[in-house]
């Protein structure tokens, strides 16, 4: 169930996760040159080698990565 309001809450099997990306936080960070954002993802160092490299994360890039993982057991 999705509820709207100043904070969006998403309920999944009894758990509630509140979004930190309300219109007010977006506007506040926009006028502060985006200096107050929390880190949303990690930046791991690159691996020494990869099996394949898919350039592009749009629909075609994701479909290609999925296809390679499914058909050729590519995982890195």
* Domain assignment of residue 24, yes or no: yes
| Domain count along the chain | 2
* Domain assignment of residue 15, yes or no: yes
Segments forming the whole domain that contains residue 4 = 1-33
- Three-class SS of 6-62: CCCEEEECCEEEECCCCHHHHHHHHHCCCCCCCCCCCCCCCCCCCCCCCCCCCHHHH
What are 72's two structure tokens?
A: 């050729």
* Domain assignment of residue 59, yes or no: yes
* Domain assignment of residue 3, yes or no: yes
Residues 6 or more apart whose Cβ sits within 8 Å of residue 32: none
* Domain assignment of residue 14, yes or no: yes
Q: Quick one: pLDDT at residue 12?
A: 52
Q: What is the pLDDT of residues 5-56, one digit of tens each?
A: 444 455 555 555 555 778 888 888 888 888 877 777 788 899 898 889 999 8
* Domain assignment of residue 5, yes or no: yes
pTM over 0.75: no
* Domain assignment of residue 56, yes or no: yes
């Amino acid at each position: 169930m999705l509820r709207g309001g100043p904070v969006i809450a998403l309920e999944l099997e009894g758990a509630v996760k509140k979004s930190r990306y309300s219109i007010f936080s977006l506007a506040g960070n926009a006028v502060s040159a985006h200096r107050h954002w929390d880190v949303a993802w990690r930046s791991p160092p690159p691996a020494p080698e990869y099996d394949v490299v898919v350039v592009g994360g749009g629909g075609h890039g994701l479909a290609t990565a999925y296809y390679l993982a499914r058909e050729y057991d590519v995982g890195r």
